[in-house]
Structure 1
Amino acid sequence: MIRLARRLAGTTAVCVALGAALAACGTTEAPHAGPPAPSRPSSSATPPPTLAPGPGGAAPVFMNGPRTLGKTVAFTFDADMTADQGPRAAAGEHFDNPALIATLRRLKVPATIFMTGRWADEYPDQARSLGRDPQFEVANHSYSHYAFTGDCYGLPTVSAANMKSDVERAYAALLRAGVPHPMPYFRFPGGCYDRQALRAVGPLGVTAVQWDVVSGDAFATDADAVAKQVLDGVKPGSVVVMHCTRSAAPTTEQVVRTVVPELRKQGFRFVKVSELIGETPGHR
């Protein structure tokens, strides 16, 4: 077992919009089956870069890379699924998007996938494939996509006492699915966090990864409008948030086919989040 040992910088409270919240229902406490397994970050010989520690041991927040080190952009995709959506998946609803992943592979676009533990439990073969493909890196998006603050787009919430164990439970699910080196990066469900949430996950050594470009693909039906929003928003060092859940983001694969060649035409190079963090002053 490898322990995440980095402590991170605190920030002020903030809640960043996804454009539309992913649907969730059920109780306000994430189901918990026994004691959580400890988290395991990447066990590669060279640890992935994270941001430097800060006062109080709260997790730091990363939003974008340097603007002055060339035209790089990181595409990130949230693989969302709540603990109580199993019956919907069993009834045929698709929370995965194999066509999107196939397009990213065909276009040779590296990406960072923020995966909920519940998604990994539902689609272990896909989780394993992504985790073992060097084109991608898999990071933590909580276990059940329950919010870490109140009033986060209607999402159920995780209590402060269970925030750390929820992240640990997600890491355990990723490892169980066959992701060999989950990254020490965490994305808050809905992008919602505050000081309490940052302090709760700080002991795990994760860097909280947000974004500076909201694609607006959640529940969107107009792929051209989403593509325009991405193209209008991208700057050197940008982090773009999108989704790889067919039922909640049906246009994303088409958006990727549109924006990738255009961004390359503009001189952008696609990188993973880890590369942007590694270029950021103060990283470890």
Structure 2
Amino acid sequence: MIRHVRRVTAACALGALALGLAGCGEPAPDNAPKASPKSALKVSPKPRATPKPTLAPGPGGTTPVFERGAATKDRTVALTFDADMTADQGARARSGERFDNPQLVSTLRKLKVPATVFMTGRWAEEYPAEARDIGRDRLFEVANHSYSHYAFTGGCYGLPRVPARGMRADVDRAFGAFRKAGVEHVVPYFRFPGGCYDRAALRALTPTGVTAVQWDVVSGDAFATDADAVTRQVLDGVRPGSVVVMHCTRSAAPTTERVVRSVVPRLRAKGYRFVRVSELVGAARGA
């Protein structure tokens, strides 16, 4: 399903807020991404991976938006994981807070579950070895979740806002961080922090050539302590072609690995096949 208007899933607000709240409502810190006339003119970095399918531009040539695949007899579902870290959370990481989740990645490998990781550039800077490891594993694909995890619209659950003139630079900076970390399997997809976007944001990102990827199933894993409740929410929401949003940050989403261990065999028992987002986008483009 493709949309070209603003769509914010209220149930995901907790995750967006919880994972990116540090500094919310305060002026952007000195290390926040800044745009300049020169950066606005730069050509967006191209992902280093084998080209992956993107959707045709939306109305007026704006960035296309993908929410879910077609509900066909082929029961496919894409698990996606947001690797969130905002531009101003370095101090929290230095004090011991963990924004990564190696055990989750290990479990996905053991269960042989393809997945798409929407990674912020700041996360790749903080965990370059892990970013490189994920990006070199053909089971996964790495997509862009911005550099800063700041909002691309106003009123996005208290997140600091990227100015319109800095949106493209923020996306470009994330791609640059992936290259610096040695991430190889990068795909031309972008997820708006907090799921918040409007037509101005879609227009701003048009030159990057990305397809914006949303979701139709909110796991509710952000700050959840009841893995069974999250599991039920995922199982109740999944339909053929679904895109499930989860998180790859162990401090803010501590139950996710347990949820995956429970959800995967139960969905497979129902005949579902796990795919990366690129497969769903490719099928939608060919429809």
Asked if these proteins are the same fold (TM beyond 0.5), I'd say yes
Structure 1 CA distance, aligned partners of 2:67 and 2:232? 21
SS at match of 1:108: coil
Aligned length: 274
2:159 alignment counterpart: 155
Q: CA deviation at 1:203?
A: 1.1
Structure 1 residue runs of 5 or longer lacking an equivalent are 1-8
Structure 2 CA distance, aligned partners of 1:33 and 1:81? 20
1:48 alignment counterpart: 52
Q: CA deviation at 1:19?
A: 4.2
Give the counterpart of 2:148 among 144, 150, 157: 144
Give the counterpart of 1:65 among 63, 66, 69: 69
Give the counterpart of 2:174 among 170, 188, 191: 170
Q: Which amino acid is 2:72 matched to?
A: T
1:88 alignment counterpart: 92
Matches of residues 243-258 of structure 1 in structure 2 within 5 Å? 243-258=247-262
Matches of residues 96-245 of structure 1 in structure 2 within 5 Å? 96-245=100-249
Tell whether the 8 Å contact from 1:10 to 1:57 is kept in structure 2 after alignment.
no
Cα distance, 1:38–1:123 mapped onto 2, change above 3 Å: farther
Tell whether the 8 Å contact from 1:71 to 1:268 is kept in structure 2 after alignment.
yes
Q: CA deviation at 1:67?
A: 0.4
SS at match of 1:76: strand
1:27 alignment counterpart: 27
Most deviating of 170-179 and 21-30: 21-30
Structure 2 CA distance, aligned partners of 1:56 and 1:256? 39
Tell whether the 8 Å contact from 2:49 to 2:184 is kept in structure 1 after alignment.
no
Q: If the length of structure 2 is used for normalisation, what is the TM-score? A: 0.91
Cα offsets for 1:52-76 (capped at 9, x unmatched): 1233221111000110141000000
Q: Which amino acid is 1:223 matched to?
A: A
SS at match of 2:267: helix
Most deviating of 274-283 and 169-178: 274-283
Q: Which amino acid is 2:107 matched to?
A: T
Q: If the length of structure 1 is used for normalisation, what is the TM-score? A: 0.92
Most deviating of 25-34 and 87-96: 25-34
Cα offsets for 1:90-146 (capped at 9, x unmatched): 010000000000000000000000000000000000000011100000000000100
SS at match of 1:143: coil
SS at match of 1:77: strand
1:13 alignment counterpart: 6
Structure 2 CA distance, aligned partners of 1:238 and 1:244? 19
Answer 1 or 2: which has greater helix percent.
2
- CA RMSD across the alignment: 1.8
1:3 alignment counterpart: none
Structure 2 CA distance, aligned partners of 1:61 and 1:216? 22
In the TM superposition, structure 1's runs of 4+ consecutive aligned residues that sit over 6 Å from their partners are: none
Structure 2 CA distance, aligned partners of 1:19 and 1:33? 27
Cα distance, 1:133–1:38 mapped onto 2, change above 3 Å: farther
Tell whether the 8 Å contact from 1:24 to 1:154 is kept in structure 2 after alignment.
no
Q: CA deviation at 1:33?
A: 8.5
